A and B are shown apart, each in its own frame.
Chain A
């Protein structure tokens, strides 16, 4: 899940190729795909809890590898917070806390 080609694609500029991996924090409204990784790595954003704790909370809320995810709503200011459809449920979170979730987008 952590292979380098996907890692690099995550920071590519567009969602052009068919296996684009993006951070959930950078996903656009309407983006959909499958979660491929939920990390506990520093992204430079403070979360108020340590990274391992954030990761466990994300996992407990159902952000697990293999779950289907779609960005369905976003706030008016700075496109934040976001609401996602996660398998059958809807979850709201802030973009800064979503940075640890990586998803592979469905082919356009």
Chain B
């Protein structure tokens, strides 16, 4: 093994706190079909401790951990994205192909490939095994979910199968940690047999198969199946029965909607107390630190910049973990594929993939977990489209802003005899968000990525009981990823926003609020002419700038510029003040602006993290600002024409 290999930067051996890994440690890579229990096997092998990063230059997640063989030797385990074939169709699958072939930049080729197979569903994976054999690297086949195969009365002649594919076969039950030691021992034996230099390995005979070769490989796999696998004595009938209910054209949709309703409620209501606790905790911490330090820049930086910034990142954590709890549950049970099946036609009308509905729905709570959960979409373009439109869904952070402005400018009256006008406006804002998200994705798919919507082909896996330990572990991993990666981007942005809102300080004897004299104030006044056609006063423009940190911050910022103390704590006073100062046209334009404007640094930070590039946050910012301006312009000018200015 070359100690100067470029992966060193991510090497757990160099991470503080983990046991040192000898430089010559064996490297194995897990390859398998989706739904083969590969992640569960990875967790069983490594104890769930994984280092998660991105592969250089691509958005594909790289997961590596360390296993310990019965001999005590450390083995590095790389979890590769699931695939049906080495002929890559997505960036994820290209990573798997390149890693297996040993031509992934910055990645040391694996010493042993472990192909993970669902023992109850061997037909397709055997063809993948044949492809992997052609690569010429040492191969071990792990027959996972072997307990289920036995329960179904499926007889697999392990020795015969091993002889037929020319690789050792080890039965495993990842969720119960059975067969793990055998697998590790076998991997060690197989790995020892090969000299570390690639030159001594078997020749790589793999190349992209054409249709004839795929057919040929299927025939070969079929022969192996017939010779060594006896069909189940008690085939699984549960999945069929459950599907007849869950995939019912009408009933299935109703159940899906009910499920989503519960999920949505949970994300909102279960997270609320914890979020309040975090918020209160950070406010209290800020208060404490504020008392300890003398008034001045350092106190302001710590309290308003760092502590408030960390708080504003962590406050999203409960929603993210609850959301991912549901998503992982749906994935592991096998329901997610059914949900995508039910939603495909509806989402497809707007050019979105069936799987896009979970991220979009999540974005009603917050676009951050929404963007993060687009990982369930394999295809890059489908995923990017979903990411780009996710922030248009009305997130919970817009609610305080909407409530304040509606309360201030929309008269409290009943229309059509039963509906509250204020409620109708709120509903209209939600509807505007949904329609614009569908509209924008439609435009993206029809104008920019025309005809590139990929075929929708998806296995509907057999239903399985999710393993609680596995679910818990995966939820924790998502939480960690959010804190470590998103936090690193969001926090500095928060400090920047703090900086421009306090620097420079007001001159001695200044009368107006301090923010007037800051960079934010200067910028706000300077760009006010640009916002004049949409009816924004300079106070409104200034409030937009700290509001970039997070949408709801605009409420506090308006409180600051109008010198109403405690904008958030005392919204009624602020609303009264705004009602006095703002015309109806300006208020409506401000609402229209907020439907579209990218007033959330955290979302842009997460998009950067998820797409591994500043291009997509820039595109998102650009199109959303444009839409916001146009929408506010139309609203303001129409309202002004009606005499509401």
- CB-CB under 8 A from B458, the residues of chain A are 91-93
**Interface positions of A from 53 to 75, Cβ below 8 Å from B:** 54-62, 64-66, 72-75
- CB-CB under 8 A from B341, the residues of chain A are 73, 75, 81, 83, 92
Distance in angstroms between the alpha carbons of A83 and B354 in the assembled complex: 14
Distance in angstroms between the alpha carbons of A59 and B219 in the assembled complex: 11
Question: Which of A58, A62, A66, A78 contacts B345 (CB under 8 A)?
Answer: A78
Tell me the nearest residue of chain B to A59, going by C-beta: B214
Q: Across the interface, do A57 and B457 meet the contact criterion of CB distance under 8 Å? A: yes
Q: Across the interface, do B84 and A49 meet the contact criterion of CB distance under 8 Å? A: no
**Interface positions of A from 67 to 108, Cβ below 8 Å from B:** 72-78, 80-81, 83, 87-94, 97
Q: B49 on the interface (CB 8 Å rule)? A: no
B534 to chain A, nearest CB (A): 39
A17 to chain B, nearest CB (A): 28
Q: B199 on the interface (CB 8 Å rule)? A: no
- CB-CB under 8 A from B123, the residues of chain A are 62, 87-89
A98 to chain B, nearest CB (A): 9
Distance in angstroms between the alpha carbons of A59 and B218 in the assembled complex: 9
Q: A44 on the interface (CB 8 Å rule)? A: no
Q: B87 on the interface (CB 8 Å rule)? A: yes
Q: Across the interface, do A74 and B249 meet the contact criterion of CB distance under 8 Å? A: yes
- CB-CB under 8 A from B354, the residues of chain A are 81
Q: Across the interface, do B455 and A48 meet the contact criterion of CB distance under 8 Å? A: yes
**Interface positions of B from 446 to 477, Cβ below 8 Å from A:** 451-462
- CB-CB under 8 A from A92, the residues of chain B are 337, 340-341, 344, 456-460
- CB-CB under 8 A from A52, the residues of chain B are 211
- CB-CB under 8 A from A88, the residues of chain B are 120-121, 123, 235
**Interface positions of A from 6 to 28, Cβ below 8 Å from B:** none
Q: Across the interface, do A81 and B345 meet the contact criterion of CB distance under 8 Å? A: yes
Contact with A along B49-62 (1 / 0, CB 8 A): 00000000000000
Tell me the nearest residue of chain A to B212, going by C-beta: A59
Q: B350 on the interface (CB 8 Å rule)? A: no
Q: Across the interface, do B460 and A77 meet the contact criterion of CB distance under 8 Å? A: no
Q: B280 on the interface (CB 8 Å rule)? A: no
Question: Which of B250, B454, B461 contacts A76 (CB under 8 A)?
Answer: B250
Distance in angstroms between the alpha carbons of A72 and B239 in the assembled complex: 12
B195 to chain A, nearest CB (A): 34
Q: Across the interface, do B345 and A77 meet the contact criterion of CB distance under 8 Å? A: yes
- CB-CB under 8 A from A30, the residues of chain B are none
Q: Across the interface, do B247 and A83 meet the contact criterion of CB distance under 8 Å? A: yes
Distance in angstroms between the alpha carbons of A58 and B84 in the assembled complex: 11
Q: Across the interface, do B451 and A46 meet the contact criterion of CB distance under 8 Å? A: yes
Q: Across the interface, do B459 and A89 meet the contact criterion of CB distance under 8 Å? A: yes
B225 to chain A, nearest CB (A): 10
Distance in angstroms between the alpha carbons of A87 and B218 in the assembled complex: 13
Tell me the nearest residue of chain A to B214, going by C-beta: A59
- CB-CB under 8 A from B457, the residues of chain A are 57-58, 61, 91-93, 97
Q: Across the interface, do A47 and B455 meet the contact criterion of CB distance under 8 Å? A: yes
B538 to chain A, nearest CB (A): 49
Q: B11 on the interface (CB 8 Å rule)? A: no
Q: Across the interface, do B344 and A75 meet the contact criterion of CB distance under 8 Å? A: yes
Question: Which of A38, A49, A90 contacts B454 (CB under 8 A)?
Answer: A49
Tell me the nearest residue of chain A to B120, going by C-beta: A88
B353 to chain A, nearest CB (A): 11
Distance in angstroms between the alpha carbons of A55 and B212 in the assembled complex: 11
**Interface positions of B from 578 to 600, Cβ below 8 Å from A:** none
Q: Across the interface, do B210 and A56 meet the contact criterion of CB distance under 8 Å? A: yes
Chain B residues packing against A (C-beta within 8 Å): 84-85, 87, 89, 120-121, 123-124, 127, 209-211, 214-215, 218, 222, 235, 239-240, 243, 247, 249-250, 253, 337, 340-342, 344-346, 348, 354, 451-462
Chain A residues packing against B (C-beta within 8 Å): 38, 40, 46-49, 52, 54-62, 64-66, 72-78, 80-81, 83, 87-94, 97
Q: A91-B460, A94-B348 are in contact. List 4 more A-B contacts (CB 8 A).
A: A55-B211, A61-B457, A80-B345, A94-B456
9 A–B contact pairs at CB < 8 A?
A: A48-B451, A48-B455, A52-B211, A60-B87, A61-B459, A74-B249, A78-B345, A93-B455, A94-B344
